[in-house]
Amino acid sequence: MKRWLPFAGIGLLAALAGVSLWLAGRHATPVAPQSGPVEATPAAIQSAQFVDGDGKPRTLAQFAGKVLVVNFWATWCTPCREEMPGFVKLQSRWQDRGVQFVGLAQDDPAKVAAFSRELGINYPLWLGEAEVMALSRRLGNRLGVLPHTVLLDGQGRVIESRIGIFSESVLDSRLAAITGK
Amino acid sequence: MTRITSILATACLACAAAAAAPPADEPLDPDKAFHPEARLVAGDPVATGNTERHGIDIDYRIAPGYYLYRSRLRFEVSPPTLLIGAPDLPPGIEVNDPFIGKSAIYRERVTIHLPFAVSIAKPGRYKVKIIAQGCAEDRLCYSPFPQEVVVNIPPGYRVIDAPMPRGIPR
């Protein structure tokens, strides 16, 4: 019987327990659901066509140079509506520091307009057809869920793609880190 | 020695399981959150009378914490030679949304009946294409997503005295 064997076993068990605790802790920490790989190029993102509430064509290129918070949402999506008041506050707080919010939806224009009035949305809410969710998927939304929020730098490059509710405090911290302001 | 080996093996398995398990808040794929199965219904007695039901039942198993919107469900049978009438949608659970008003949702399990609109159904393999929409409670919603289930009509199957479904003129 080798005398070192039990000690080696205990050491290995301790190491395994440490790994398990790390893995368990990693899962216990509240994390945002993971989105998939980003397939859209900055040029494709900036040139994607939408319309505003008046039916005028719009692209994200008009905000080139700004950090963009692009939020995919819908009026029927309750979690989307829950996070938007926080976006309104953040748009006010960050608008003079080079940050612009834009909402994108495949939805009924009348419902979007009513919702915008009711909540006092202070950033553009643009509309589109199937290409809205197609872009969302190409920006990492593998499951096609809402809300989906993408942070873009001034050149249209994806900094972060997140599905589910983006809390006001977390997004505020992310914008501070991205802009250095 | 054997005991140490078995303890180590158990610990390794526990580690592997911890590593493989998805984070608890990762949303499910639509087909796992909202799992449909199709079943041929041939002559089930209807509780309210002596007539018989003939058609396809779509049985949905909905994961805990998820729900389907009743009014957003759409069904289409392919090939379209098998005609179906208006889906028989159970009332569901009524919810009142402050913005979109009253709507109905399904949780846990629901069976939707697609009645045949023909007296003779040709044997064969039919696909039921579904467009569904639902949410994970307080977290996120699934934009309209397609699903597909298959039902087989065996040779010799015959719809006898099937009541004409609502919305289909005689």
Domains of chain B: 27-153 (2.60.40.1250)
Query: For residues B41 and B157, what is the distance between their CA atoms, to the nearest angstrom?
Result: 11
Same domain flag for A161 and A95: yes
Contact B100 A75 (CB under 8 A): yes
Same domain flag for A88 and A13: no
Q: What percent of chain A has pLDDT over 90?
A: 74
Same domain flag for A170 and A98: yes
Q: Which two tokens stand for residue B5?
A: 């080996």
Pick A95 or B51 by higher pLDDT.
Answer: A95
| Residues of chain A neighbouring B135 (CB-CB closer than 8 A) | 77-79
Query: For residues A24 and A17, what is the distance between their CA atoms, to the nearest angstrom?
Result: 10
**Of the given ranges (A160-169, B15-24, B152-161), which has the lowest mean pLDDT?**
B15-24
- At B41-71, the pLDDT tens digits run 876 555 445 456 789 999 999 999 999 999 9
- The mean pLDDT value for A123-137 works out to 94
- At A28-70, the pLDDT tens digits run 333 455 567 888 899 999 999 999 999 999 999 999 999 999 9
Q: What is the DSSP letter of B82?
A: S
pTM for the model stands at 0.77
Same domain flag for A24 and A56: no
Q: Determine the residue among B66, B70, B143 to mutate to test chain A binding: the one whose Cβ has the most chain A Cβ atoms within 10 Å.
A: B143
Q: What is the DSSP letter of A164?
A: S
Q: Which two tokens stand for residue B89?
A: 């949608």
Measured in angstroms, the CA of A63 and the nearest CA of chain B are apart by: 27
Using the structure block, give the residue that is written with the tokens 């199937």.
A130
Contact B18 A13 (CB under 8 A): no
Same domain flag for A7 and A72: no
**Nearest-by-Cβ selection for A16 from B11, B21, B25:** B11
| Residues of chain B neighbouring A82 (CB-CB closer than 8 A) | 138
Mean pLDDT estimate for chain B: 81
Contact A31 B23 (CB under 8 A): yes
Same domain flag for A14 and A49: no
Decide if A116 is inside a domain: yes
> How much is the ipTM here?
0.77
Q: What is the pLDDT of residue A33?
A: 59
Q: What is the pLDDT of residue B15?
A: 47
What domain range is A97 assigned to?
A: 42-179
Query: For residues A154 and A99, what is the distance between their CA atoms, to the nearest angstrom?
Result: 9
Decide if A37 is inside a domain: no
Same domain flag for A2 and A26: yes
Same domain flag for A9 and A96: no
Same domain flag for A87 and A116: yes
Residue A92, domain CATH: 3.40.30.10
Number of domains comprising chain A: 2
Decide if A50 is inside a domain: yes
Using the structure block, give the residue that is written with the tokens 């499951």.
A143
Measured in angstroms, the CA of B105 and the nearest CA of chain A are apart by: 13
- pLDDT beyond 60 at B6: no
Same domain flag for A75 and A114: yes
- At B73-131, the pLDDT tens digits run 999 999 988 888 999 999 999 999 877 789 999 999 999 999 988 767 788 999 999 99
Same domain flag for A58 and A22: no
Q: What is the pLDDT of residue A68?
A: 97
Q: What is the pLDDT of residue A26?
A: 39
Same domain flag for A74 and A17: no
